[in-house]
A and B are shown apart, each in its own frame.
Chain A
């Protein structure tokens, strides 16, 4: 499977590829972590689905869904599952190691200089600006991934209603994810349970 021959494209998507080695995973995750300020998931979606084409958008959403309901940082969980899928535990270690090793060094270096720069209004302003951009990037990624919902067995109207409910509970009413997620998730998976069986799929 590590030959350049790729599996056939499905559902109109371009052909998927796979990483050649755990080392390629490590390098790819290092590079994407270094681009991810305040939202590695945005870069991860772009690199994994669009640049490398290791995952379809729907597969990315599936991994992120699992990453969200189990404990742990979402993007770390995605890296672990992706790495494990291609190369077993070596791949998982390579992907997570890539995500963490260099940023670990950078963040500790920043501790040393933070005290000196934190009071600077220009630095504080720059961080504010980057915060606003990262919020926008996350929203843009959500819009991009939402296009994959057209193929969801729930159907688009149900997806919109469930998504809106989750958005209002967590984003507007600020309910803790630990029980908002099981609540909406149970309804959504219950509905999906009835749709995925019986009909042609």
Chain B
């Protein structure tokens, strides 16, 4: 790919950054259209693997963009694409955070905080539900419910819970 083509791609990713409502994976279909269908930088299978690897790996899921860039063009591609997808949304986060922080008692800020709190918490529950509902059967539901109670009610370390899940899965219990 030429330099110009890269510049165009990165500009498009800068724009996609501001469309990531609901998380990094919200723009996955658009990125797919761009890097798989239009530019053929990575294959369909590589794209799916990128998302899977980022989800199995520690750290935020947004790193699937780095994996895509790596597969397209090595380390430089990984850094460039990850930076492009985070830069605009990060600037906005800092600006919005500052704006709200400077006006903690303003009515619009209070209304936003109070109104959004139950919805934000419900969206966590919905995320959990979507993951659980993906797999048929009941054993993984039991595993998930145990993990939920453990993290809610006890101080047991999260990595122990993860390890228990990995072992249960590796020995084909779920």
The listed residue (B66, B89, B119, B124) touching A77 by CB distance below 8 A is B89
Closest A-chain residue to B99, C-beta based? Answer: A66
- Contacts of A114 on B, CB cut-off 8 Å? 49, 52-53
Size bracket, chain A contacts: 35 or more
* B96-A188 in contact (CB<8A): no
Q: Could you tell me the distance between the alpha carbons of A36 and B24 in the complex, rounded to whole angstroms?
A: 15
What separation, in Å, do the CA atoms of A134 and B164 have in the docked complex?
Answer: 11
- With A35-B158, A104-B66, A188-B116 as given contacts, are A75 and B121 in contact (CB-CB < 8 Å)? no
Most chain A beta-carbon neighbours within 10 Å: one of B63, B70, B132, B140: B63
Once the chains are docked, how many angstroms separate the CA of A84 from the CA of B92? 12
Contacts of B53 in A (CB 8 A): 107, 110-111, 114
CA distance A166 to B119 in the complex (A): 6
Min C-beta distance of A177 to chain B, whole Å: 4
Main secondary structure on B side of the interface with A: helix
Residue B162, interface by CB 8 Å? yes
User: Max chain B CB contacts within 10 Å: which of A99, A170, A201?
Assistant: A170
Residues of B within 8 A of A61 (CB): 117, 120-121
Residues from chain B with a CB closer than 8 A to the CB of A85 are 97, 101
User: Are B97 and A159 in contact, CB atoms less than 8 angstroms apart?
Assistant: no
Total A-B pairs in contact (CB under 8 Å)?
A: 371
State in angstroms the CA–CA spacing of A125 and B95 once bound together: 42
CB < 8 Å: which of B98, B123, B129 contacts A84? B98
Of chain A, the residue at the smallest CB distance from B166 is: A126
The answer to whether residues A170 and B123 also contact, given A71-B21, A129-B168, A189-B112 and a CB cut-off of 8 A, is: yes
Task: Quote the shortest CB–CB distance from B137 to chain A (angstroms).
Answer: 10
Interface string of A82-97 (1 = CB under 8 A from B): 0011000100100010
Label chain A's interface by main secondary structure: helix
Residues of B with Cβ closer than 8 Å to A? 17-24, 26, 49-50, 52-63, 66-67, 70-71, 75, 78, 82, 86, 88-90, 92-94, 96-98, 100-101, 107-108, 110-132, 135, 140-141, 143-152, 158-159, 161-162, 164-174
Known: A37-B58, A92-B94, A103-B60; 9 extra A-B contacts, CB below 8 A, are A70-B92, A85-B101, A126-B165, A130-B162, A132-B132, A133-B147, A135-B129, A139-B148, A185-B115
* Chain A residues in the interface with B (C-beta under 8 A): 33-38, 40-43, 46, 58, 61-77, 80-81, 84-85, 89, 92, 96, 99-100, 102-104, 106-108, 110-111, 114-115, 118, 121-146, 148-149, 152-154, 158-160, 162-167, 170-172, 174, 176-178, 181, 184-185, 188-193, 195-197, 201
